[in-house]
Structure 1
Amino acid sequence: MTHVEGAEAVDGPADGSATAAEAGPDRPLRHNRDFLLLWSGASLSFLAARVTAVAYPLIVLWHTGSPLAMSVVSTAALLPLLLVQLPAGALVDRWNRRRLMLVCEAGRLVAVGSVALALAAGRMTVAHLAACAFVEASLAVFYRLAERGAVRNIVHPAHLPTALAQNEARGRAAGLLGQPGGVLLQSAARWLPFGFGALGYLVSALSLLLIRKDFQQERADRTCRHRMATEVAEGMRWLWRQRFLRAALGYVAGTNVLFQMLALALILRIKEAGLPSATLAVVLGIGGVGGLCGALAGGRIQRRMRQRMLLIGGAVAWALLIGAMGLTSEPVALGTLYAGTGFVGAVFNVGASVYQVRTTPDALQGRVAATAGLIGSGTNALGSVAAGLLLAAWGAETTVRAIAAAMAVLALLAVLAPDLKGEITDDRTDTGTGSITGG
């Protein structure tokens, strides 16, 4: 049996409260009332966030006509990914998850509700929008980290792959519906996207109040509080000791760079082919369907394949699909190939989520997820810069082929990397109560 060095115990649900195990592994997940409440409420929350995210830059550009003002608001919405994630992870592990999620939904309701009222009254300012975008995105980071840690305390361990696959599908569907929905609502009335967002956050908060199970285990050191930097460092040290997770995150960072490059290369590819800009919407729409299908299938695939094989197989499939994208500019073909990359990416996301949630002690869930998220999102800027340089020098077709070659190199490195052979196998983590010892 394969182990990860330095791994700690995988904690089970708290014994003193209603536990996820009560439902039993033989009872379908669709009969888990608390999970359905959490999932449906979070679905509305994610959809509301997608709708308002696309509305912010549209509203600013419509009111001011200034691309610089639009950039200010967009940057304010992205800053929390860099500034908030690490402290948010520590606070999520310190605070009560349910109460924190309720505060997040209440705060987001107030923020977007104030934007809706300001727009309805004709009193919109760029400073107000930027502040609300920053607050909404910051609270979204807290909510996402808390909800991810809560899931394994709501569902039976045997249902965790299915639950996280449904969460991935929820995010993909929110993206598919939220972006065009935000545009349509904004076209009907400028305040409508934010009114919809406020309603979504309200319903999400109400669903949290109806859930009976605890969102976390009892904290043995509840009265012991360390400095924030100490708690953040504790999560980072734990993650660093996990050989497999550490190597897998390096792989993820590399693929994220390449996919940032691919997204920009696709835009230029369509322009160089003389196709209308609406073609991009078709390509991205088809690609989004592929991602949704991958999310729905991810739980079943994850149960049949080890994480290392998902990493290697995914990189090989990505290299072939992206390589083929360098050989065609036909919109349907590009969209179909892009859908293939989205399918693989969604399956990998499900597998990675299941592995991280299962192997991370409950008391460290927020900090480990935040550190992993920072590594993943932190590479996006590097990908954008690299794409700009390569596209200017080589053009879209050659850049896409270079991306495919780089993905093939990542697949080879994944095959050779010794740390990716140190995976914790599912039979040691499915129970949620066993101890994982260092190898």
Structure 2
Amino acid sequence: MSAARQPPASPAEVPWLLAEETCAKQGAAVREAAPAREEAAVREEAAVREEAPVREAAVREEAPVPASASVPVSVSVRAAAPPAPPRDPASGAEPEDGASPPPPLRGNRDFTRLWGGAGLSLLAGRATTVAYPIVVLWATGSPSDAGLVGTALLLPQLLVQLPGGVLVDRYDRKRIMVLAGIGQALVGGLVAFLFLSGRPWLWALLGAAFVEGALGVLQQLAERAAVPAVVPRAQLPTALTGNEARTRGAAIAGQPLGSGLAAAGSALPFGTAAVLHLLAALSLSRVRGRLQQERTGPRAHVGAEIREGLVWMWHRPFLRAVMSAVAVTNVLFQGLNLAVMAAVLDHHGSQFQVGLILSLSGAGGLVGALSGGWWNTRVSLRALVLGGLLAWTALMLPVAAVLHQPFALGALFAASGYVGGVFNVAGGVLIVRSAPDRMRGRANSLANLVGSGAMALGPVAAGYLLEATDASRAVLVLGGVMALTALVACVAPGLRTPPEDGADAV
């Protein structure tokens, strides 16, 4: 079967024609660079050409081999060679140049185990976060004791983030998650025993709350850093959308779960949390394969690795600018929450009204998280960041006019929560795509540290502001700062150019 072919319309078509022809004829072909005058020449069928350099084309038994000097690339294709297999067919984390599309995330068993295990742990953590101050207040009658325990539970968010990021980058992430889950289960069982025995010593509860919070930080850092190991790069926005929706859902469900169990019995929320943490550890232990790349060379000192993470972050202006904006907005929203509470209290409103408004904010965040992947595939990160800041400004300023209208407040808070859900998904995508595997734990820890530290400053700053003025003026001040933040972000050099995905980011 010898037939002549016309030369390709464009040199860029040559590799495609070679692959098609050689796969059809089950032969092997090697194309070398040829002079430009031979580009239009027509060659007949050839089957096998040996390794020696060939400057002229010859007619062989089976396949025609067109040549072009405009494409100085040597291509060798085997007829029956299948595409390279993925790293793990169950997880779907295959190479970027894989011929077959990755399976949907719902069929990715490793991701679903990681997602479900971390979700159970988050649900348990949200329940105990609410239960600790409630049961201590009811058991001791001391608001200060309840505040101390709540602070001990949240203190690791500030103290453990940076060293925790180093540990997650150094050691096996799956082992960290499993051991942290088992440790949290033991802590929950211990606290349940203290209440059942009638000896809820304050010092023991303070220690238990701090340990539980520290283990929770480690587990969350390890889980976030492990996601790119079980999810193909193209599916990261979808995966992180699911993670953000899971976090929002755990917050919505965990608060009534913790308070309801505490009302039924002081030991119940902690015993239930212990069971949930054990189930989470079981699910996480079934994730297969290594969740990070091998690190070679001697390990640096912990302080040196923290410093390396800080330097890495400083040399990424887009990521640094986004984190700065997040820090400012967290302060403002914590202040806004306090201002709304003060306004409701001044007009003899109920705690139910405050809870309803905050719950609507959480519901809006859940919807925003679910749609975050859609936004990330259609809008640039820069547009999402700037659009989110401008939307928050437009939603925050009207709050001053509707402080005494719970339903209007709920609508504004729900819309703000929606923007926050989309914003968080965008930030998560930015971090996992920017950070190399060896730096991913520290990158997440720095982001969490900025957010947590800012959230801690918000109520304090808003408290002083509310002492100096009324709630309406305080909200206008907060809205003005938000508008200024959006304006600065629009002209900030770091946000003018979108970030580049690092080659070593996955």
- Give the alignment's TM-score, normalised by structure 2: 0.79
1:294 corresponds to which letter in structure 2? G
**Is residue 357 of structure 2 the alignment partner of residue 255 of structure 1?**
no
Partner of 1:387: 462
Alignment partner of 1:217: what SS?
Answer: coil
Q: Is the CA contact (8 Å cut-off) linking 1:307 and 1:351 kept in structure 2?
A: yes
| Greater CA drift, 104-113 or 267-276 | 267-276
Alignment partner of 2:348: what SS?
Answer: coil
User: Matches of 2:286 and 2:252 in 1, distance apart?
Assistant: 28
Partner of 1:5: none
**Is residue 195 of structure 2 the alignment partner of residue 119 of structure 1?**
yes
User: Matches of 1:385 and 1:210 in 2, distance apart?
Assistant: 43
Indicate the percent of aligned positions where both proteins have the same amino acid. Answer: 45
Partner of 1:418: 493
2:456 corresponds to which letter in structure 1? A
Partner of 1:266: 340
**Is residue 436 of structure 2 the alignment partner of residue 361 of structure 1?**
yes
Partner of 1:284: 358
Instruction: Provide Cα deviations, 1:359-391, integer angstroms capped at 9, x if missing partner.
Output: 100000111111121122112233222201111
**Is residue 260 of structure 2 the alignment partner of residue 172 of structure 1?**
no
Alignment partner of 1:319 out of 368, 371, 393: 393
Partner of 2:481: 406
Alignment partner of 2:177 out of 56, 81, 101: 101
Alignment partner of 1:34 out of 78, 95, 110: 110
Q: Is the CA contact (8 Å cut-off) linking 2:353 and 2:406 kept in structure 1?
A: yes
1:405 corresponds to which letter in structure 2? G
How far did residue 26 of structure 1 move? 4.3
How far did residue 220 of structure 1 move? 2.7
CA 1:435–1:185: 2 relative to 1, 3 Å: closer
Q: Is the CA contact (8 Å cut-off) linking 1:19 and 1:153 kept in structure 2?
A: no
Residue ranges of structure 1 left out of the alignment (5+ in a row): 1-13
Instruction: Provide Cα deviations, 1:202-231, integer angstroms capped at 9, x if missing partner.
Output: 00111112211321122233xx11111001
User: Matches of 1:366 and 1:207 in 2, distance apart?
Assistant: 21
Instruction: Provide Cα deviations, 1:225-282, integer angstroms capped at 9, x if missing partner.
Output: 1111001111111011111111111111111111111111110121233322211111
How far did residue 183 of structure 1 move? 0.7
Partner of 2:303: 229
User: Matches of 2:454 and 2:288 in 1, distance apart?
Assistant: 39
CA 1:267–1:374: 2 relative to 1, 3 Å: same
CA 1:25–1:128: 2 relative to 1, 3 Å: farther
Partner of 1:77: 153
Residue correspondences, number = 415
How far did residue 81 of structure 1 move? 1.3
User: Matches of 1:107 and 1:88 in 2, distance apart?
Assistant: 15
How far did residue 44 of structure 1 move? 0.7
- Give the alignment's TM-score, normalised by structure 1: 0.91
CA-based RMSD: 1.8
Instruction: Provide Cα deviations, 1:37-96, integer angstroms capped at 9, x if missing partner.
Output: 111111110000011111111111111101121122111112111111111111110010
**Is residue 310 of structure 2 the alignment partner of residue 241 of structure 1?**
no
Partner of 2:446: 371
Instruction: Provide Cα deviations, 1:96-146, integer angstroms capped at 9, x if missing partner.
Output: 000111110111111111111221222221111111100000011100110
User: Matches of 1:116 and 1:382 in 2, distance apart?
Assistant: 32
1:300 corresponds to which letter in structure 2? W
Residue ranges of structure 2 left out of the alignment (5+ in a row): 1-85
Alignment partner of 2:376 out of 289, 302, 316: 302
Partner of 1:208: 284
Instruction: Provide Cα deviations, 1:131-187, integer angstroms capped at 9, x if missing partner.
Output: 110000001110011000000101111111011111111111111111111111111
Alignment partner of 2:290: what SS?
Answer: coil
User: Matches of 1:402 and 1:171 in 2, distance apart?
Assistant: 30
User: Matches of 1:195 and 1:389 in 2, distance apart?
Assistant: 39
Q: Is the CA contact (8 Å cut-off) linking 1:25 and 1:159 kept in structure 2?
A: no
How far did residue 435 of structure 1 move? 5.8
